[in-house]
Structure 1
Amino acid sequence: MIADQRVLALIPARAGSKRLPGKNIRPLNGKPLIAWSVHAARRSRHIDRIVVSTDDPVIRDIALTAGAEAPFLRPATLSGDEAGTAAVVAHALDQLQDEATWLVLLQPTSPLREAEDIDGCLSLAWHRKATSALSVTPLDRPADLLFRLRRDGGLSGMTGAGLAAIHGQRSQDQSQLFVLNGAVYAVSIPWFRHSARLFDDATLAYEMPPDRSIDIDTSLDFRLAEILMAERHMRPDGASFSSLV
């Protein structure tokens, strides 16, 4: 709970993945990918219940072994590439009929998020009396160095700020952008039921460092996550994290 308000964690994990087949159950440093999200949720100071929404009996069994609940299987209509996350959340809430006030949505493709990130994002929303907060990370390069590729093979944006950046503008003088990293969404359930949205223009941003913000979509992402996870477990402070896995 946070104050006297109950917190529900939902981990959506479907079976299908075109770029990296079977990624949610693929072993990452000795554990299925989804297990890392379950274990981070278990270490949270505020989460009261952890539920996995999946269409796959194999994922359900892994979730149960890791310490989550999986009381239903998601229908096929909510398991394809076209299924929106908000629809998956609404289905889970209808199935669970839980009395929680807050929802924490944790994508299984963010295995490097820690419990402090979950609690920090949720606490930010609660203390600021916001309806939602989500995790972000700084873009790994200045916005002025981003260009579009034209049909003729040239670059659009090679003037103005973009040109100045290429010709030596100091990086600290270039504009900084943030991107959603998909690791944590903290949402007021009453607000979600009214709006059917996970965020809007009033949503607050919880900043996470890049080394905890890997969102696995490709085999390269997975390899990078393996390297970072291995380094984490080699640190003296990694023992407490690995004790649950």
Structure 2
Amino acid sequence: MKILGLIPARGGSKSVPGKNIKLLGGKPLIQYTFDVAKQVKGITRLILSSDDDDIISVAKKMGLEVPFKRPKELGQDQTPTIVVIQHALQYFSTQNIYFDAVCLLQVTSPFKTTSFIRDAITKFKSANCDSLVSVSKIPDVYNPHWAFEPDSNNHLKLVTKEEKVISRRQDLPTAYHRDGVIYITKTTVLLNENSLFGNKLAYIESPMEYSVNIDSYEDWNKAEAILMKKV
């Protein structure tokens, strides 16, 4: 199976300006993802997709392939991720280069490991699925089976539409949320169904230390604290 490893990194971040190449522990943020992904044999080709000259320059210096510069209109806040992936696939198709799946590796989750990416690809290949995503467990206090919404009479009812509240924490079913560490999707699903997920969605649970997703200075500080513990 041919898998394209895609690292998206646009310029113009507003929450943490320049975060994709901002130094975290002395290294550009983007380098954390590149350093582990380049060692994954299951990735056929690893590239960067960026609209920003500074990011592209930093990426090339560390040895990350940048086969094209992403159009500015695909680097906006509202640009859907799937459009960025489709642009990369379409670029390669003009060269008669095709992939069976795309492994999306977001820079904002810097602490994933080579073994985690490898395990995700192995599970994707064996799971008879359209896609695989990484997930983290939702804390019990936020479990959807304990979530309420007001009805038309302003009385609370369970969001899950169940009649009775599960009273014991031990009886709550496990619930997950997508944590953004990794997405793997078949090319046919990306292009023909215009979807990152398809109908058959497999998952892999991220260790707690991977779950930081840098979208604010608070997240950045959390990442720095994690690094301090690793030293």
What's the TM-score bracket when you normalise by the shorter of the two chains? 0.7 to 0.9
Query: In structure 1, what is the equivalent of residue 208 of structure 2?
Result: 210
Query: How far has the Cα of 1:44 moved from its partner?
Result: 1.4
Aligned identity (percent) is 30
Question: Are the aligned partners of 1:39 and 1:66 in contact in 2 as well (CA < 8 Å)?
Answer: no
Residue 173 (str. 1) matches residue 171 (str. 2): yes
Q: Which residue in the other structure is 1:182 paired with?
A: 180
2:66 to 47, 67, 70: 70
Q: Kindly provide the CA deviation profile for residues 68-98 of structure 1, in whole angstroms up to 9, marking residues without a partner as x.
A: 1112111121111111111111111111233
* Residue pairs, 1:1-245, within 5 angstroms: 5-97=1-93, 98-142=97-141, 143=143, 144=145, 146=147, 169-232=167-230, 234=231
| Aligned-partner SS, 2:174 | coil
1:35–1:62 CA contact under 8 A, matched in 2: no
Q: 1 CA distance for matches of 2:156 and 2:88? A: 44
Q: Does structure 2 retain, via aligned residues, the 8 Å contact 1:112–1:229? A: no
* Unmatched tracts of structure 1, length 5 or more: 235-245
1:123 deviation in Å? 1.3
Name the CA distance, whole Å, in 1 between partners of 2:134 and 2:119.
9
- Runs of 4 or more, structure 1, over 4 Å off, are 144-149, 154-158
- Counterpart of 1:60, as a letter, is I
Name stretches of at least 5 consecutive residues in structure 2 with no aligned partner.
Answer: none
Q: Distance in 2 between matches of 1:187 and 1:85?
A: 12
Output the CA distance in 2 between the equivalents of 1:155 and 1:176: 26
- Matched letter for residue 128 of structure 1: A
State the TM-score, normalized to the length of structure 2: 0.85
- Structure 1 residue 221 displacement after superposition: 0.9
- Quick one: which amino acid aligns to residue 26 of structure 1? K
**Root-mean-square deviation (CA), in Å?**
2.6
Q: Which has the larger helix fraction?
A: 1
1:156 deviates by 5.3
Q: Name the SS of the counterpart of 2:20 in structure 1.
A: helix
Does the CA contact (< 8 Å) of 1:117 and 1:184 recur in 2? no
Residue 65 of structure 1 deviates from its aligned partner by 2.2
Please give the secondary structure, in 2, of the residue aligned with 1:217: coil
TM superposition shift of 1:190: 2.9
Q: Residues 200 and 6 from structure 1, CA distance in 2 versus in 1: closer, same or farther, beyond 3 angstroms?
A: closer
